[in-house]
Amino acid sequence: MGIGNCRIVAALILIPSCLRSGYDAAIDTITTSQPIKDPETVSAGNIFEMGIFSPVNLTNRYVGIWYNNVSATKPEWVPNRNNPIADSSGAVTISEDGNLVVLNGHKEILCS
């Protein structure tokens, strides 16, 4: 996935959290110092949720955005579809230049 697609996700997660007041920023915000690590999720506004998941019967892990109040996790967007995380040590963060970055457990970039 290219950088443009990751910026769309950053907008979906970060902008709604800036518009809300009275909520703990650690719950609904991803920053350079506050990544989300498997199995954590973030949800700004409780409509969408972003996190790391594994499809049924697979061991690979993927970053995705899905509707928050649906019984089964069906991701609407997966940036690392072609480059999955091999285990549960992955993370999603914002790089110093403002891009969304998917990392494996060795801190190697899988998607930016």
Model confidence pLDDT, tens digit, residues 29-59: 888 899 999 999 998 788 889 999 998 888 9
Contact at 8 Å (CB) between 79 and 109?
A: no
CATH of the domain at 71: 2.90.10
Number of domains in the chain: 1
Residues of the chain with pLDDT under 50: 1-26
Give the predicted TM-score (pTM) of the model: 0.72
Distance (Å, whole) CA 108 – CA 64: 18
Residue 39 near residue 2, CB atoms below 8 Å: no
- For residue 90, the enclosing domain spans 3-111
